[in-house]
Structure 1
């Protein structure tokens, strides 16, 4: 009985095993026939464009010319003849100093001149008579020389009196203080009725004037940039031109031309002062404003550009993923440059015909086979010469 029971149980187990095997074998053909689907990625060839590198520096506008307006004579201020902050032209009346004492000085100098001229006329007559008498030896030689000396002294007195009259007239003229140059004037620094000191190093400062058109912008470049520009000086074709963006502007709105480079670096900061001159016909710029100066040290050159999304990091290097002719994924180490029109410059490591994966990087690895969809990468701006932003 036990043996028979074991046989029945063994037969039942065998039947169940055969049924399970048949069931599993019925599903087998579908699994073994399935294949791995190749991932789909988007590829694009690099954009080839002619670009210009622009380095950015912060600068400050300063007046090309400026002047401190002071009086050449002392006296009481009688009139202020301008509006604070107005635009003035050369020769415009600014201040008037009480001129009555200076007018009196002119009259006094005129009287002195008339007096010495009368004395000169008398000396001329006496010398003329002595000149006739000396020829006939009627007068002594010493008397003749006295008349000659008196004539020369009278001539000197006339010259001195004429100089004094000229000086008095100049002082009278200086009581009307005019603009020595065109530009924007500051506020008055002294009011009517105050005593103005003039004619010396401690003369009273009355106001200031600054020129506006053209205007200069000063900026400092670092030593590394200075050395780079020196190396590129022989091949630079655009090094004298700068572009300027004002605060709040995305793109530069004006241009200028370099006209000054300092003769040494500042030892405390390691920077070199430079200056560019800018046209300011609409007078929108004022001394003291800040501006962003973009400076190019070399001629435009061809370059390959890619979007930043196509660039990955492999350990410590920058890489891009490309598809070879067999649609195999390869890794290419690259050297990056600056941003141009929203695209990154690839300085080395890439060829113009390479197909770079720009979308779907997370779905592939090196050596994988991928299905490629081509796309043309478009630049964000119309012109290729835009600000190069560092990486």
Structure 2
């Protein structure tokens, strides 16, 4: 009873002091303050649920490693069309940038001067033949007369020498005529190969020089189908491939037309296939690389000489491999890891050795087993040693093959 009276007086004193300071506090707040030392404990919070993640087992399939290089396309055949005779251009017979066939007429150089020379040479040949015929008749008569001693042997020898000289003059005249006829032929400039012609560099009315005095460049032609792609292989790749060859794990490109795949600028995957047809006989001393070449079919003529492309060259024989989406691989300082869900649904970080990408999936060389459950979605929610709620992927990872 006495304790209750003392508590009531204490409460009144507190209320009086609060009012004296201008504070207005409800009786409920005062009771809470008075009872704050009673030692009541708050209710415990519910345990957090295991975060959901998507898991998948590695895809198993036969893959082939590829080495990738930067390549440049070049024409299999390329010709600079030059004038072989001098004269004035009278006709340009092609459209700039058009496709031409071997033998198509490109330019006409005024042929009249060469035709005149040919006519003159033809007359000289006729004269030489007539003289040769006369010399032959004189010799035949001399051979008949020498039998009756009507002429001396010396006369016969002179007539025989005259016939030989006439035949020589005939041969010279024939050569002059052929040269004149060739000049007439060269006045019509023909395409030496089939391909795409460049622009015309000489217009009608201009004087061009022939091969005797520094021939004039008229245009150029490049072939397009097939087309070469040249690439440079670094020394380390060459040594590795050489070791694989001697171990019987990879055919040599010198002996076998190994396949290549080419990705053009702006493409995300290879669009053209070809085969290696040449490896140089030495490494370039300035770059330490080995020059290689592949032949690429170009039926649609879409690839032009001078273009760049990424060249993939076969780097191994086919082998069985485990693959994962590249997004399932994380980096832990200097090593690559994947998160594996164990049988008790706890997360384990597994160090792996990576291989190349194959059709959108990353080859895992070491660190995984075929039945491992790997987190492929929700890596950010996983903690090593903590439980997760795994859910199997609904479909095979992108890029997988059946």
Report the TM-score, using the length of structure 1 for normalisation. Answer: 0.82
**Residue 258 of structure 1 aligns with which residue?**
276
Of 266-275 and 160-169, deviating more is 266-275
> How many residues are treated as equivalent by the alignment?
366
Q: Secondary structure at the match of 2:311?
A: strand
Deviation at 1:367, TM superposition (A): 5.0
**Residue 132 of structure 1 aligns with which residue?**
144
Task: Specify every segment of 5 or more residues in structure 2 that has no aligned partner in the other structure, as ranges.
Answer: 8-37
Could you say if the C-alpha distance between residues 333 and 281 of structure 1 is closer, same or farther in structure 2, counting changes exceeding 3 Å? Answer: closer
Answer whether contact 1:44 1:377 (CA < 8 A) is retained: no
RMSD across aligned positions (CA): 3.2
CA distance in 1 between counterparts of 2:95 and 2:185 reads 22
Deviation at 1:116, TM superposition (A): 1.3
Could you say if the C-alpha distance between residues 94 and 366 of structure 1 is closer, same or farther in structure 2, counting changes exceeding 3 Å? Answer: closer
CA distance in 2 between counterparts of 1:109 and 1:186 reads 37
Could you say if the C-alpha distance between residues 315 and 124 of structure 1 is closer, same or farther in structure 2, counting changes exceeding 3 Å? Answer: closer
Answer whether contact 1:306 1:377 (CA < 8 A) is retained: no
**Residue 199 of structure 1 aligns with which residue?**
211
Q: Secondary structure at the match of 2:267?
A: coil
**Residue 308 of structure 2 aligns with which residue?**
290
Q: Secondary structure at the match of 1:277?
A: strand
**Residue 271 of structure 1 aligns with which residue?**
289
Could you say if the C-alpha distance between residues 192 and 323 of structure 1 is closer, same or farther in structure 2, counting changes exceeding 3 Å? Answer: closer
Answer whether contact 2:65 2:314 (CA < 8 A) is retained: yes
Deviation at 1:163, TM superposition (A): 1.2
**Residue 339 of structure 1 aligns with which residue?**
357
CA distance in 2 between counterparts of 1:162 and 1:275 reads 48
Answer whether contact 1:335 1:346 (CA < 8 A) is retained: yes
Deviation at 1:263, TM superposition (A): 2.1
Deviation at 1:359, TM superposition (A): 4.7
**Residue 147 of structure 1 aligns with which residue?**
159
CA distance in 1 between counterparts of 2:217 and 2:94 reads 16
Q: Is 1:117 equivalent to 2:135 in the alignment?
A: no
Q: Is 1:82 equivalent to 2:94 in the alignment?
A: yes
Deviation at 1:205, TM superposition (A): 0.8
CA distance in 2 between counterparts of 1:94 and 1:362 reads 68
Answer whether contact 1:44 1:376 (CA < 8 A) is retained: no
CA distance in 2 between counterparts of 1:180 and 1:307 reads 53
CA distance in 2 between counterparts of 1:139 and 1:130 reads 7
Task: Specify every segment of 5 or more residues in structure 1 that has no aligned partner in the other structure, as ranges.
Answer: 10-19, 385-391
Answer whether contact 1:260 1:275 (CA < 8 A) is retained: yes
Could you say if the C-alpha distance between residues 374 and 282 of structure 1 is closer, same or farther in structure 2, counting changes exceeding 3 Å? Answer: closer
Deviation at 1:219, TM superposition (A): 1.9
Answer whether contact 1:341 1:379 (CA < 8 A) is retained: no
Matches within 5 A, 1:12-91: 41-91=53-103
Matches within 5 A, 1:84-103: 84-103=96-115
CA distance in 2 between counterparts of 1:315 and 1:195 reads 72
CA distance in 2 between counterparts of 1:35 and 1:207 reads 82
CA distance in 2 between counterparts of 1:194 and 1:104 reads 21
Match of 1:235 among 249, 271, 282: 249
Answer whether contact 1:72 1:174 (CA < 8 A) is retained: yes
